[in-house]
Amino acid sequence: MTQQARLTQRMEDERGIALLLTILGIVVIGALISGFFMSAMLENRAGQNSRRVEQAFAAAEFGVTETIAAWNVGTWNALAANQTDSISGTSPGGSGTYTGEVRRLNNEIFLVDVTGQSSVGQARQRIGAFVKLRSLMFDISAVLTTRGPSTFAGNAALDGTDRIPAAWTSCPPLEGTKSGIRTPDASDLDFKGGCAGASCVTGSPKIDEDPTLGDDTFFDYGDSDWATLVSLATKRLPGGNYQNIGPRLNGAGKCDISQQKNWGDPLNPDQPCGSFLPVIHINGDASLNTGVGQGLLLVDGDLSVQGNFEFYGIVVVRGSLKAVGTGNKFNGGVLAANVDLDDNSIIGTVDLAFSSCAVARAQQAGAAGSPLRSRGWIQLF
């Protein structure tokens, strides 16, 4: 076979190779392009998923922060140990929502458990935060702190001996005996009848003459003041006469904290209203007659107690205190500021007894929540 014939034969044998190479190139290029798009799609999905997870986490974190910042003193401070209350909300911009609960662990510590969810998709993140009550600090070193003229007569009794109220549990150790009366000038005190010679006063000392008493004693409470304290009130009442104060239950047998005359149940701490310690603000002069209550009682004017009324906690009166009749009892501490320097009058069968436990619980009643300083939150799964 000649050389020309062999060349012709080779060309005939290799006919169609260009098409094959072209198709192979297209397949390879297509695979590369498909791989690129697949990789881009996966990265986009991963980015979207990461974004939704971050949105869910941000919603949960916002829920924790918002819950602590807007601490519901009236509801959460009244929870018994291991009781819960639900919370929910939406993060700014609507990027996520959150739900969860506030659980009371003991007298001071709460767990805020929040689950955040992205507004798009099903991404969820759960955060828990430990919260401690930041108690108000009242300057109570006597069962009665007052300034201005005061009269004590009849069967009145003022006892600075620390005591735990009957049936109360989980109280801190006793602090020892406080003064019976703290005042800037002992000569303003007038003891008559059964109280002659301050015989109705027990304390160490009986009378603490403290010329430094001023507005800050009655109206400054650590990092809070009177206006802040009033803003925390869970019961706001106008001045007037209030009778038959006591615990109220709803149809389900639970403590009905919405009732204005429900000021808790200190005599039965294991009952539904036993752990309810409200912050009560009366805007004006008030008269109290019969009943029982606990917590913080704030009176913007004069307070007159007229018989068979018993209170456990802290009482702050901007004006004067008048107690007459029988069966009146204050357990904790009383601050009577005498803003207008009217006479205090403690006459009749009236008992004022110091209780550090009642004071501590009253201070917690108006306390806001604060995250623990060391690792206050954890991520829950």
Asked if the model's pLDDT at residue 123 lies above 80, the reply is yes
Asked if the model's pLDDT at residue 145 lies above 60, the reply is yes
pLDDT in tens, 315-374: 999 988 988 888 899 999 999 988 654 567 887 778 999 999 999 989 888 787 888 776
The number of beta carbons lying within 10 Å of the beta carbon of residue 94 is 9
Mean pLDDT of 70-93: 86
Task: Output the pLDDT for position 262.
Answer: 96
Instruction: Give the closest residue to 98 by CA, choosing from 130, 57, 139, 129.
Output: 57
Mean pLDDT of 191-203: 90
Task: Output the pLDDT for position 73.
Answer: 81
What is the reported pTM?
Answer: 0.76
Domain boundary assignment for the chain:
53-134+372-380, 142-365
Residue 132 binned pLDDT confidence (cut-offs 50, 70, 90): confident
**Mean pLDDT of the chain, nearest integer:** 86
Task: Output the pLDDT for position 88.
Answer: 94
Task: Output the pLDDT for position 221.
Answer: 84
First to last CA, the chain: 84
Residue 98 binned pLDDT confidence (cut-offs 50, 70, 90): very high
Asked if the model's pLDDT at residue 281 lies above 90, the reply is yes
What CA–CA distance (Å, rounded) separates 366 from 232? Answer: 6
Whether the link from the prior residue into 205 is cis, omega within 30° of 0, is yes
Task: Output the pLDDT for position 2.
Answer: 65
* 355-376 burial: b if 16+ Cβ within 10 Å, else e: bbbbbbbbbbbbbbbebeeeeb
Strand 150-152 and strand 368-371: pairing?
A: unpaired
Asked if the model's pLDDT at residue 381 lies above 60, the reply is yes
pLDDT in tens, 220-264: 887 788 998 898 888 999 999 999 999 999 999 999 999 999 999
Task: Output the pLDDT for position 341.
Answer: 46
Burial of 320 (C-beta count, 10 Å sphere; 0-12/13-18/19+): buried
Between the CA of residue 26 and those of 21, 22, 29, 41, 144, what are the distances in Å? 9, 6, 5, 22, 96
Residue 158 binned pLDDT confidence (cut-offs 50, 70, 90): very high
Burial of 63 (C-beta count, 10 Å sphere; 0-12/13-18/19+): buried
The number of beta carbons lying within 10 Å of the beta carbon of residue 100 is 25
Residue 133 binned pLDDT confidence (cut-offs 50, 70, 90): confident
pLDDT in tens, 10-54: 555 555 667 777 777 787 787 777 777 777 676 666 556 677 888
* 109-140 burial: b if 16+ Cβ within 10 Å, else e: ebbbbbbbbbbeeebbbbbbbbbebbbbebbb
